[in-house]
Amino acid sequence: MTSEEKLLKKYLTYLHVERGLSENTRQAYERDLRQLMIYLKQRDTDISLCEGNDLFLFLLKLKENGKAPRTIARCNATLRGFFAFLLDEGQRSDNPSTYLVTPTLNQSLPKVLSELTMDKLLQSGEETDLTLRNLAMLEVLYSSGLRVSELIGLHLADISLDVGYVRCIGKGSKERIVPLGEPAIRDLERYLNGPRGRLCGKQKSDILFLNSHGRSLTRQGVVYILKKWGNDHNLEQTISPHMFRHSFATHLLDHGADLRSVQEMLGHADIATTQIYTHLTRKRLLEVFQKAHPRADNRGKE
């Protein structure tokens, strides 16, 4: 194993053990750093000797190759974190990433389903074991705002139907408790009182949501289920697990929830991440005002 590989492995271990980053995030960081290592080799240098200009040209090459600003910004953050780690570990006497500039991002607003559309989606139709499982799953997503990774990681012990809450492990291995609404509790009870046992069969599993083979659902499996569910309910748009999370937050704010409470329920470390949903509610308020208020600018609409 080369010295670069050893440093990379040590850094990835640090991200896992000390920073508590998810496997997906660590894999993204590793991909970024491996691309950098290949690029530096082409320039006859390496991570222990490279300079700030090498890193700048690396990011510039990503841009020239058509990488999105968000991807370049993440790669920039990867470089900053990695070289700060090397400096702390005494592997370098300087940090060549200090003066790197992060590209300006055009923040896009999250896609949100209307309350009317959500009501339409949360109808099961034919009551089979799989449709009852899917309905319970969708109700939990909408009632709690869980990420799909948090949903598929739920165990039976993480659900309290008596008290009405779900416990999950989010980013950074942080645990949080989120309330469940009455419809979610009701549909979870229906799922647990029959369909789940039949899906599990003779296997032993404490995973809450199981696939048709009695095993834990995958991220891809949930995405497929939601896409098919949307088609079966005659939705023109394709729905995703994160749209339920966005809708959960936006609908809470629409009905008067405070931002700090929504932040806690979503598991956001920084309230600035949660504030994006306030843009959606402001936009909706403006639309209502322009349509309804007699002093709104409605010229040319008569």
Closest by CA to 44, choosing from 54, 34, 59, 32, is 54
Binning pLDDT at 50, 70 and 90, where does residue 285 land?
low
User: According to the model, what pLDDT value does residue 266 have?
Assistant: 93
Tell me the pLDDT tens digit for each residue of 85-97: 999 999 999 999 9
Q: Which of 70, 88, 106 is the last residue of a domain?
A: 88
Residue 179 backbone phi and psi in degrees, to 5: -65, 155
* Averaged pLDDT for residues 107-123: 87
Q: Is residue 106 part of a domain?
A: no
Examine the domain organization and report whether 77 and 135 are in the same domain.
no
Q: Which residues contact 95 (CB under 8 A, 6 or more apart)?
A: 83, 84, 86, 87
Examine the domain organization and report whether 25 and 170 are in the same domain.
no
Binning pLDDT at 50, 70 and 90, where does residue 152 land?
very high
Examine the domain organization and report whether 54 and 133 are in the same domain.
no
Q: Is residue 99 part of a domain?
A: no
pTM: 0.65
d(CA 96, CA 47): 10
Binning pLDDT at 50, 70 and 90, where does residue 211 land?
very high
For residues 191 and 206, the answer to whether their CB atoms sit within 8 Å is no
Write the burial class of residue 101 (CB in 10 Å: 0-12 exposed, 13-18 middle, 19+ buried). Answer: exposed
Examine the domain organization and report whether 215 and 264 are in the same domain.
yes
User: According to the model, what pLDDT value does residue 126 have?
Assistant: 83
Residue 55 domain boundaries: 3-88
- Eight-class DSSP state of 16: H
Q: Is residue 81 part of a domain?
A: yes
- Listing DSSP states for 209-242 in one string gives SB-TTSSBPPHHHHHHHHHHHHHHTT-SSPP-HH
Examine the domain organization and report whether 253 and 146 are in the same domain.
yes
Angle (nearest 5°) at CA 65 between 63 and 68: 50
For residues 113 and 243, the answer to whether their CB atoms sit within 8 Å is yes
Q: Which one has a higher pLDDT value, 171 or 143?
A: 143
Task: Indicate if the pLDDT at residue 299 is higher than 50.
Answer: no
Task: Indicate if the pLDDT at residue 11 is higher than 50.
Answer: yes
Task: Indicate if the pLDDT at residue 237 is higher than 90.
Answer: no
User: According to the model, what pLDDT value does residue 79 have?
Assistant: 95
Q: Is residue 302 part of a domain?
A: no
Mean pLDDT of the chain: 88
User: According to the model, what pLDDT value does residue 99 have?
Assistant: 83
Q: Which one has a higher pLDDT value, 237 or 226?
A: 226
Examine the domain organization and report whether 138 and 257 are in the same domain.
yes
User: Mapping DSSP to helix (H, G, I), strand (E, B) and coil, where does residue 191 land?
Assistant: helix
CATH of the domain at 259: 1.10.443.10
The total number of structural domains that make up the chain: 2
Q: Is residue 294 part of a domain?
A: no
Q: Which one has a higher pLDDT value, 36 or 280?
A: 36
Q: Minimum mean pLDDT among 99-113, 195-209, 239-253: which range?
A: 99-113
Q: Is residue 107 part of a domain?
A: no
User: According to the model, what pLDDT value does residue 92 have?
Assistant: 94
**Around Cβ 167, how many Cβ atoms within 10 Å?**
15
User: According to the model, what pLDDT value does residue 177 have?
Assistant: 93
d(CA 15, CA 172): 10
Q: Which one has a higher pLDDT value, 55 or 70?
A: 55
Examine the domain organization and report whether 189 and 244 are in the same domain.
yes
Task: Indicate if the pLDDT at residue 268 is higher than 80.
Answer: yes
- The residues carrying an active-site annotation are 147, 171, 242, 245, 268, 277
Examine the domain organization and report whether 139 and 232 are in the same domain.
yes
Task: Specify the residue for token string 């607003």.
Answer: 109
Examine the domain organization and report whether 38 and 151 are in the same domain.
no
Examine the domain organization and report whether 142 and 271 are in the same domain.
yes
Helix-, strand-, coil-residue percentages of the chain, each rounded to 5: 60, 5, 35
Task: Indicate if the pLDDT at residue 300 is higher than 50.
Answer: no
Q: Minimum mean pLDDT among 45-49, 230-234, 275-279: which range?
A: 275-279
Examine the domain organization and report whether 204 and 166 are in the same domain.
yes
Give me the sign of the Cα torsion angle 27, 29, 32, 38.
negative
Examine the domain organization and report whether 157 and 269 are in the same domain.
yes
Task: Indicate if the pLDDT at residue 301 is higher than 60.
Answer: no
CATH of the domain at 41: 1.10.150.130
Pairing of strands 159-160, 175-179: unpaired
User: According to the model, what pLDDT value does residue 272 have?
Assistant: 72
Q: Is residue 110 part of a domain?
A: no
Q: Is residue 204 part of a domain?
A: yes
Task: Indicate if the pLDDT at residue 291 is higher than 90.
Answer: no
d(CA 192, CA 255): 31
